[in-house]
Amino acid sequence: MKIIGHRGARGLAPENTIAGLKKALEHNVDEVEFDLRVSKDGVVLLHHDRDLTDPNGKRWRIAKHDYQELLEHKADLATFSQALDTLKSSVPMYIEIKPGEPIAPITDIINGCLQQGWRKDDFRLASFSLKTLEALHSALPDISLIVNENWSGVRAGHRARKLGAMRVSMNRRWLWSGFIRAAGRGNHQLTAFTVNDPRQASRWERAGLYGVVTDYPDRFEK
């Protein structure tokens, strides 16, 4: 079963930061997951929410501000390029692109990496948005897709078949062993998010779960 660090390793270090990515690597994850958004000036950033919240609690909409301005309000705000320099093809990246984000700045960086010798298997591109996944597949047809889904296994399976995607990632709240076995029979590689209990993960692994996205990769080290 694959162990995937969630937003780096958000239970052990600040999420979507270089420190978080390094912490995930320290605990020997099989993949590292992080989120991408794009600033007003086209810089691709690691961040989950649409808004950045500064130490005073003020919110800054990422799409409406330049990177340097945002950096003044979050000193550890990381760029995609910095993440790539940190990871250096050490583990595959599970990259979630948020719905509505412009994909060209993201795909341009990935294409540049491929031209510089990175492997296509270094990247897995994920989203909850079918429109985003379709655009990513059109721009980068050789890169694997992951269909993220919060609750509907039927919708996830339909999208995976439409996109030719093998990977599906589901909210753990809606998973049970029978569903996991059925996903395997449908030739899907099913991952669950967010799983922080190794005992639960072990039960689901016996049913055929492909991987878990976890805040605490240290709990799963062999």
- Contact assessment for residue 47 and residue 54, using Cβ atoms and an 8 Å cutoff: no
pLDDT at 186: 86
Question: pTM for this one?
Answer: 0.97
Bridging pattern class, strands 189-193 and 31-38:
unpaired
172/184 Cα distance (integer angstroms): 16
Q: How far is CA 181 from CA 17, 21, 34, 204, 209, in A?
A: 35, 31, 27, 9, 8
Q: How far from the centroid of its chain's Cα atoms is residue 203's Cα?
A: 24
User: DSSP alpha helices (H): ranges in the chain?
Assistant: 18-26, 67-73, 80-87, 104-115, 130-139, 153-163, 177-185, 198-207
Does residue 81 carry a pLDDT above 90?
yes
| DSSP3 helix / strand / coil % (the chain, rounded to 5) | 40, 25, 35
For residues 87-111, average pLDDT: 97
Domain boundaries, the chain: 2-37+87-220
201/2 Cα distance (integer angstroms): 10
Does residue 28 carry a pLDDT above 90?
yes
> What confidence tens digit (pLDDT) does each residue in 159-195 have?
999 999 999 999 999 999 999 999 999 889 999 999 9
Indicate the average pLDDT of the chain. 97
Does residue 222 carry a pLDDT above 80?
no
- Contact assessment for residue 30 and residue 211, using Cβ atoms and an 8 Å cutoff: yes
Does residue 14 carry a pLDDT above 80?
yes
CATH of domain 2-37+87-220: 3.20.20.190
Q: How confident is the model at residue 1 (pLDDT cuts 50, 70, 90)?
A: very high
Does residue 119 carry a pLDDT above 80?
yes
